[in-house]
């Protein structure tokens, strides 16, 4: 049997912690325990999940205070006498373990993580450097773990957040894109990479070991290089960026 302490909240009521005890083995995933609780003990418990294979990102929550995917975390990795489950921080709680991710998605949109292609973009040369960068950032499943681990996103909602800066950087270095200037202005603007206070909460938060802080640092150095004329923005973007 495993004891769990789970954060409960219903709009209009005070939040509280509720204790559960559920049958469990060391290899059970935390998500399995949640499903067991919902099916056999308490059907009012609310949480998100979909793929059950660490791909959709919807089951991210604080497990013993750390952002993790419930479907990727085995009980033996976190088991103590009691395992605590709470919603991700930095976002408003809608119900129990479910948070309102709208600020997260809105900030991502501000970084324009899509290509604005020119009519002749099919002639652009895509180097292995570009594809390496794309591949390493595409491992991000947008689960918001890094966003929740960052103290700046909760304190300052206008801050883009590590996920948005990283996704914007990915497109910034795609030679088919024509919106580099606009995009860099956002990524290196007042709500962008310079806003990071260096708490580095995002380091180690990603379930797929993507390191957003690395790309945040690149936005800082590259924006300075462009600003002081060390490199032309078009050349920088064509280069493909470093993964």
Distance CA 9, CA 140 (A): 29
- Nearest approach, Cβ of 105 to ligand FES (angstroms)? 17
Q: Indicate whether 49 belongs to the interface with ligand FES (CB under 6 A).
A: yes
Non-local CB neighbours of 27 within 8 Å, separated by 6+ positions: 74, 75, 76
Q: Could you say whether residue 74 binds ligand FES (CB under 6 A)?
A: no
**Closer residue to ligand FES, CB minimum distance, 18 or 52:** 52
50 binds ligand FES (CB under 6 A): yes
Rounded least distance, CB 97 to ligand FES, Å? 12
Query: Which one among 2, 32, 35, 58 touches ligand FES, defined by CB under 6 A?
Result: 58
Q: Does 54 bind ligand FES (CB under 6 A)?
A: yes
Cβ-based nearer residue to ligand FES, 62 or 71: 71
Q: Does residue 98 bind ligand FES (CB under 6 A)?
A: no
- Determine the size of the site formed for ligand FES (CB under 6 A): 12
Please report whether residue 105 would count as binding ligand FES according to CB under 6 A: no
Query: Which parts of this chain interact with ligand FES (CB under 6 A)?
Result: 49-52, 54-59, 69, 71
């Amino acid at each position: 049997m495993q004891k769990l302490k789970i954060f409960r909240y219903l709009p209009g009521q005070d939040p509280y912690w509720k204790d559960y005890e559920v049958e469990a083995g060391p290899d059970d995933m935390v998500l399995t325990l949640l499903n067991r609780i919902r099916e056999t003990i308490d059907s009012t418990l609310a949480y998100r999940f979909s793929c059950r294979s660490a791909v959709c990102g919807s089951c991210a929550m604080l497990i013993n205070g750390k952002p993790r995917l419930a479907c990727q975390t085995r009980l033996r990795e976190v088991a103590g006498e009691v395992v605590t489950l709470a919603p991700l921080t930095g976002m408003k709680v809608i119900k129990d373990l479910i948070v309102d991710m709208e600020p997260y998605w809105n900030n991502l949109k501000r970084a324009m993580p899509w290509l604005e292609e020119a009519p002749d973009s099919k002639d652009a040369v895509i180097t292995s450097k570009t594809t390496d960068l794309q591949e390493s950032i595409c491992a991000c499943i947008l689960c918001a773990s890094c966003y929740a681990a960052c103290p700046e996103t909760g304190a300052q909602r206008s801050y883009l957040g590590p996920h948005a800066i990283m996704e914007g950087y990915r497109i910034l270095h795609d030679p088919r894109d024509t919106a580099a200037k606009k995009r860099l202005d956002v990524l290196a603007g007042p709500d962008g990479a310079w806003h990071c206070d260096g708490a580095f909460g995002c380091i180690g938060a990603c379930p797929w070991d993507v390191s957003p802080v690395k790309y945040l640092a690149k936005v800082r150095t590259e924006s300075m290089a462009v600003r002081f004329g060390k490199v032309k923005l078009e050349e920088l973007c064509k280069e493909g960026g470093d993964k």
